[in-house]
Amino acid sequence: MKNSEKEVRGPLSLFSAIKDRNIINKELNRGFLRLKFSPPVEEAFTNYYFHHSITLMRISFILGLLIYASFGILDMLIYPEFLKALWAVRFGIGCPIIWAIFFASFYVKKEIHLQLITSIGVFTIGITVIIMLIIISSDPSQKYYVGLMLVIFYGYLAIGLRFRYAIPACWGIAIAYFLLSFFLIRPEFHFLISNSFTLFFANLIGMIGNFLFEKSIRRNFLLSNLISIDKEELEAINLELEKLSVTDELTKLANRRYFEDFLEKEWSSAMRYRYPISLMMIDIDYFKNYNDHYGHRAGDECLVRIASAIKDFERRHGDLVARYGGEEFVMILSGTDADNGRRIAEEIRKKIMDLRIPHPASAISDVVTVSIGAVTLIPSKNIQKEDVLEAADKALYQAKSEGRNRTVYVELN
């Protein structure tokens, strides 16, 4: 089976993105510290991640909003004297930003845009916490400093930001805290150093967690593609095996087993909807003599040519040509009445003669000919399908008895 690469355009085809096993193995064997794939694989992964993370990201936006807004209670309890200013920042700036990102997620169609918007949102929420620290700067304890830690960890580990987008947002918060504290808040020096040192390691820990998480997702993506390839290959093998189990190996026609199953289904359908079925038994005249004269290899070639000629008359959904025995074929024509059945049988007989396959060992012709026994009926409860096969077989026997290279047609009531 030939593998190929395909672009992903929707969530239903995510695992059909990369079909080359060598490309996937190459990506799996890249160095541990390297996240980004080669361009075609990266594009497929980006699409995959967008469609698989969007719902969880939206849930994270709502949870983040609830957590952020709930700290308004803390504003009221700890800093009632600054409540108006704190709530103006929290509910006038922070909450609307989170709401805006949440609603944007329903309209943004590209993963890169959603990641960028979310990254800017995380940074902005961090800035609102720093603004609150400026508002309460008269309190040397800097109680809301812990809020920065929550924003940073949430940005790295909870909101679905990929590594390359989480880093600028969260490190930006830490740098902004250091600069604004140094110039505006002006805490005691040991507070500034201690807090900055803590934010540094919070970012470091968050980076490691985010990196390992994305690395795991990327690896799962590649493995999922490998599983998809294995599954498709297995399905193709099973389909081929199934096809072989119902196909005659030499002529590539349906075999006797498939014919019997097909007849069962068509019989039930014709009985239900009251339409006729024509059935033909087709036998090559003096085929044993042909094999004895030319050999079995030539006999096989003769069978293939005749099978192909009869197959040309399989023109509708309910038609089937099958190899029934050594040199015997059977044909079902659903919805075909007696007149058309008789006409088609004669056309088949003449077409075989027109092939002009030499047959010097034949007792009736210098070319290969066939005898045909055909039956037409509308199935009913009074007639069994085995009776139709027997009637067609008797008609074939009659055609042989009457000199071969002819059609004997029977219409059953």
* Active-site residue list: 327
Which among 280, 284, 269 is positioned nearest to 410, based on CA atoms?
280
Residue 392 CA to residue 390 CA, distance in Å, equals 5
Distance CA 227, CA 237 (A): 15
State the Cα–Cα distance between residues 155 and 210, nearest whole angstrom: 9
Report how far apart the first and last C-alpha atoms of the chain are (Å, whole number).
Answer: 51
Which residue is listed with tokens 């590209």? 110
Tell me how far the alpha carbon of residue 285 is from its chain's centroid. 50
Residue 375 · residue 410 · CB < 8 Å? yes
In terms of Cβ atoms closer than 10 Å to its own Cβ (0-12, 13-18, 19+), residue 154 is: buried
Q: How far apart are CA 327 and CA 332, in angstroms?
A: 17
Instruction: Return the structure tokens found at 196.
Output: 């900055």
Residue 261 and residue 247 in contact, taking contact as beta carbons nearer than 8 Å = no
In a 10 Å sphere around its CB, with 0-12 CB exposed, 13-18 middle and 19+ buried, how is residue 203 labelled? Answer: buried
Q: Which amino acid is at 383?
A: I
Residues 77, 51 contacting (CB under 8 angstroms): no
Q: Which residues contact 411 (CB under 8 A, 6 or more apart)?
A: 338, 375, 376, 377
